A and B are shown apart, each in its own frame.
Chain A
Amino acid sequence: MTGAASDVRLVPARPLVIAPVDVIFRLAPGDRPLVAASESVVVGAPIAERLRDPGLEEIHVPTALEPQPGGRWSGPADGRDGLESGELVFSWRGRWRVAGGALSDPLETPFAGIVRGVRPGTSITIRAAGRGLRGIVALGGPTRGRLQGSPDSELRAGGLDVNSAGAILVVGSRVDAETLTRARAMGVRGVVVTGLSSKERRDYLASEARQRSALHRLPPFAVLVLDGAVRRPVAGAVLALLGALSGHEVAIVTDPPMLVFDIPSLTVPTPPADLVRVRGGALAGREGRFVEAIGARRFPGGAHLEACLVRFPDGTTAAVPLGDLERFV
């Protein structure tokens, strides 16, 4: 078969591995950046101090100090201004509004890299050393741990043990909020899952919000969702990559939602060019070889959709809407 109809490029492509990876760490007014642009950072290096309960104070700042919005301000040692230090936010009627607070948490980078930009009150951007596997969403904060687990099994709350402390677990197609909460309590650093339903997401976020409102600092923990909100097997290409990463230190970051790994010697297997994965519909989760585009077909519900022929490993073929397919590149 030759010609455009045999062109697998008609199937939407999804990058398997992304490089370079620029990660954004959000800051709020008052948070104190500890790094500067162009600096190198190592794993675990503190990059900022985040205020737990920021407030705004009116303070007279001598003009001789040439204050600018976003600049840092340090008060006199006697603390008569109410703040020891803070961030200059804006000046109004001769007095500066300074954001500051008594308690702060360190923000650490879970990967090594080079600081690309620092914008007080807005963000720090770091280019990670290494590559990334993109997810749909990541809940929680940046974290790091040893990747372990089996993507083809489902993890239940009772299945967790202390051996998983410090690890990032790959848990397969779906996970519930109770398991996530217990995993965090047992010192697990993160969870990678294919699908997380809206209910479990809501319950988990509510649990995390309750934890955050407590005064003690939360250990770093994140949930990386690879595919969506419904149960679906891990894609073969992703499975192979996660298998290769098993036992290695990896990081989860939230913006963009991604699993970051820095293993230069790791050769990521290139999926066959015509390998396609069925993402939705009755055949969801199956993988096969693209044969050819076969034009518009009528599918259940009366929808006329552009379709193609896919041959599955068991030798069967099926007409699948192009929109139900994806391929990794």
Chain B
Amino acid sequence: MTSEPRAFLTQDTGAATIAAALVGRVGGRWRLIGSLAVPAGADPTALAALLVERVSAVDPVLAAALGLDRTPVEELPRVEVASHPPRRLAVVAGSERALVPLVAAASRSGWRTSSASAETADPLEMSTLLLDPGVNGILAGAGDPPAADERRALGELGALVAAAAHRRPEVPIVLAGGMAGQLHAFGDVADRPARLLIGSAARLGRDGAGLRELLTDAALPPDDARRALGAAAVALAEVLDRRIDVVEIGFDGGTRAGAWPGAWSEAAAMDLAIVPSAGLAPADPDDQVVDRVATWSTSTTDRHRLRDRMRELRIAPWADATGEGVALRLAAARAALSCLARWTPEWADRPAADLVVATGGTWAVASGPSVALALVDVLRRAGAAQFALDHGRLLAPLGSIPDAGERRAILADLADDLLAPLGTVVTPGGLRHGRSVGALQLHGASGRREHELRPGGLELVELPPGATAVAEFRFHDTVRLGGRGRHFTIDVTGGLGGLVVDLRDVPLRLPERADLRGELLEAWQSAVRTGRDA
């Protein structure tokens, strides 16, 4: 945006949802005027027109001040992003051991993966995999230097991949680690339509960031909505001066963006994981998917029926979103979050974020407190964090603003509007079982309140959005809450779910029996919906 408009539209086009928001200049700063989300397949022009029409009907004076009465909707400036369907990467290696970190790197870099190693697949199977028309990229990797168990297979593997590359010139190829030594087998690649990239060896954790960034670049265009969430998380961390975790669950994948503000001479930084298998509705709900969803289901549906419902969710993600449909979506969202956690294991060892922001079309049908509970059910770690919801789906469009300064300035104006506060969740770890583990004293504007803390459940304390308080925890035994100790004082802020003291196990332990598990999950979910302790 180079001119000085009074209003602009943002649009986040996902595989299942189109979300539009109207942002206007009010009182010298940008404010969120309104937002709407409808199922994908609707006409975005009609969506924008309806949004502007509603604003004009509710507040004609404001609409006139923003120039909406004289600017056709089509001429309003727009900041648009779209999430692109994940593509498939064939991952091959000399040994099963070498394959594991390669698949882990690709699975969290925006790719769906199919994999094979020379140890378990013969050359014909591997060629069939690489030549499959559904494969959009090839990653061949080895350790650096290659380990003894893979060294012997690398020559033949290099020849096989080079032959596939020759036959499929439109497919990008990544040679990682010691596999780069086989580059000679590919001949002259200067005229190849798709790139042949050399990457570092796949490693778990921060050491593997180089290859993951390379794979993300090859997987998704720069203006992809999920990639934009990374930039938005950094800008938000800088603006709020806090550690931020953005967690997105969408139809076709999930995203986790962790960002932290700069300190001393270090600049703000972030880590981005885009996990296609963490989508709400996997394309093929196999047994693993059904098991994951069943684990979090509050009803004891048989497996075939659950699979049918997951298929229907894939075909029409917005249909049947009332009644039991809400519970199904929340179970599927938790299953997706567990996939996200599986592919980002090092997140668990990091300091807890100060603010966790939920975003994505999945949360559109759930109440705010239910969203926070879903996140703390699955992405569990001891600590205290605020939770917020990107209810207007603004983060990705704003993250796509190319100029970092402009992005920060707009986010600074809009932070309060775009983040719907869900509340603060305090999760002490290492609690002992018993009748009481301690007490909470909440010092707020309305005086002092005291609550006994009983392990195994949720202690819900009313604290409305905008309210702040000081929570003083006194435990009978030493617990983990950031550090280890018995006495903690934490500044907390309110939200739609108030203050939640989560006294359940970290990680969460659920009963094996489906009916007991369903009852327990329903009790917790019902508690946050109604505001009563569970």
Contact = CB atoms under 8 A, between A and B. Distances in A.
Contacts of A26: 132-133
B447 interface: no
A7 B326 CA distance: 27
Nearest to B328: A301
Interface SS of chain A: helix, strand, loop or mixed?
mixed
B163 A69 contact: yes
Given A199-B304, A305-B322, A306-B38, A91 B163 contact: yes
Given A281-B320, A323-B39, A4 B49 contact: yes
Contacts of A91: 159, 163
A324 B163 contact: no
A3 B53 contact: yes
A68 interface: yes
A121 B167 contact: yes
A270 interface: no
Contact of A302 (B39, B307, B529): B529
Nearest to B365: A303
Contacts of A123: 133
Interface stretch (B219-227, B311-319, B372-380, B463-471): B311-319
Interface in B299-352: 304, 307-309, 311-312, 315-327
B114 interface: no
A300 B322 contact: yes
- Which of B43, B168, B316 has most chain A Cβ within 10 Å? B316
- Which of B156, B168, B304, B322 has most chain A Cβ within 10 Å? B322
Interface stretch (B1-9, B64-72, B122-130, B502-510): B122-130
Contacts of A46: none
Given A13-B41, A29-B131, A198-B307, A90 B122 contact: no
A71 to B, nearest CB: 10
Interface SS of chain B: helix, strand, loop or mixed?
helix
B50 interface: yes
A5 interface: yes
B239 interface: no
A301 B326 contact: yes
Interface in A105-130: 119-123
B132 A122 contact: yes
B321 A92 contact: no
B167 A122 contact: yes
A84 B227 CA distance: 51
Contacts of A68: 166
A54 B319 CA distance: 44
B39 A89 contact: no
Interface string B40-53: 11110111011011
B29 interface: no
Contacts of B47: 10
Interface residues of B, number: 58
Interface residues of A, number: 59
A56 B322 CA distance: 54
B41 A12 contact: yes
A282 to B, nearest CB: 8
Given A10-B47, A56-B122, A306-B36, A230 B312 contact: yes
Contact of A9 (B46, B128, B304): B46
Interface string A187-226: 0000000000111000000000000000000000000000
B124 A7 contact: no
B160 A90 contact: yes
Interface string B147-176: 000000001100110111011100000000
B42 A69 contact: no
Contact of A14 (B41, B50, B123): B41
A230 B46 contact: no
Contacts of B127: 29, 89-90, 99, 121
A3 B57 CA distance: 11
A225 to B, nearest CB: 10
B192 interface: no
A29 B167 CA distance: 12
Nearest to B40: A12
A230 to B, nearest CB: 6
A279 B164 CA distance: 43
A323 B318 contact: yes
B37 interface: yes
B21 to A, nearest CB: 14
Interface string A223-267: 000011110000000000000000000000000000000000000
Contacts of A168: none
Contact of A4 (B50, B304, B324): B50
Contacts of A35: none
- Which of B160, B168, B319, B325 has most chain A Cβ within 10 Å? B319
Contact of A321 (B164, B318, B327): B318
Contacts of B309: 229
B308 A323 contact: no
A302 B167 contact: no
B319 A324 contact: yes
B367 interface: yes
A322 B50 contact: no
B311 A229 contact: yes
A295 interface: yes
B322 A28 contact: no
Given A7-B49, A90-B123, A305 B365 contact: yes
B476 interface: no
A70 interface: yes
A89 B42 CA distance: 46
A280 interface: yes
Contacts of A97: 123-124
A301 B327 contact: yes
B532 interface: no
Nearest to B161: A90
A326 B41 contact: yes
Interface in A1-47: 3-5, 7, 9-14, 24, 26, 28-30
Given A7-B43, A119-B133, A323-B318, 18 more contacts: A4-B46, A7-B49, A30-B124, A56-B122, A68-B166, A90-B159, A122-B167, A198-B311, A299-B323, A301-B323, A301-B325, A301-B326, A303-B325, A306-B38, A321-B318, A321-B321, A323-B39, A323-B321
20 contacts: A4-B52, A5-B50, A10-B50, A28-B131, A90-B127, A91-B159, A93-B155, A121-B127, A122-B131, A122-B167, A198-B308, A228-B312, A229-B309, A229-B312, A301-B325, A303-B325, A321-B318, A322-B42, A324-B318, A326-B316
Closest 9 CB pairs of A and B: A323-B318, A12-B41, A280-B319, A280-B320, A90-B163, A9-B43, A4-B49, A69-B163, A299-B322
Interface of A: 3-5, 7, 9-14, 24, 26, 28-30, 54-56, 68-70, 89-93, 97, 99, 119-123, 136, 197-199, 227-230, 279-281, 284, 293, 295, 299-303, 305-306, 321-324, 326
